[in-house]
Amino acid sequence: MMMECGHPYIAICPPKPPVTLDEDEFGLWIGETLVRKFTWRNINNVEVQVITYGATITSIKLPSASGAVDDIVMGFDNMEGYLNPLNPYFGATVGRVANRVGNAKIYIDHNTYNVSANIGQHSLHGGFKGFDKVNWNHYVCGTKVVMTYLSKDMEEGYPGDVLVQVSFELTDDNEFLIDFKATSTKPTYVNLTNHSYFNLAGHNKGVEELLKHEVCINADKITEVDKDSIPTGKLLPVENTVFDLRIPTTLGKVIDKIPGYDGFDHNFCVNQPSKPQEVFVARVFHPPTGRAMEVYSNQPGVQFYNSNFIPEDPKKYQGDKSKLKTLVGKGGCHYYKNGALCLETQNWPDAINHVNFPPAVLYPGEAYHHTVKYKFFVN
Residues carrying an active site annotation: 195, 344
100 assigned ligand-binding residue: yes
**Rounded to whole angstroms, how far apart are CA atoms 303 and 281?**
11
**Rounded to whole angstroms, how far apart are CA atoms 129 and 123?**
11
The residues with which 340 forms a beta bridge, in sequence order, are: none
Closest CA to 352 of 112, 154, 108, 157: 108
Which amino acid would we find at residue 215?
V
**Rounded to whole angstroms, how far apart are CA atoms 125 and 100?**
7
Three-class SS state of 279: strand
Distances from the Cα of 201 to the Cαs of 256, 258, 283, 290, 315, in angstroms?
A: 20, 24, 15, 9, 21
**Rounded to whole angstroms, how far apart are CA atoms 242 and 299?**
23
99 assigned ligand-binding residue: yes
265 assigned ligand-binding residue: yes
Which phi and psi (to 5°) does residue 321 adopt? -65, -20
Which amino acid would we find at residue 370?
H
**Rounded to whole angstroms, how far apart are CA atoms 207 and 338?**
5
**Rounded to whole angstroms, how far apart are CA atoms 245 and 218?**
8
**Rounded to whole angstroms, how far apart are CA atoms 292 and 158?**
38
Contacts of 111 (CB under 8 A, 6+ apart): 159
196 assigned ligand-binding residue: yes
Known binding-site positions: 99-100, 195-197, 265
Known binding residues for beta-D-galactose are 99-100, 195-197, 265
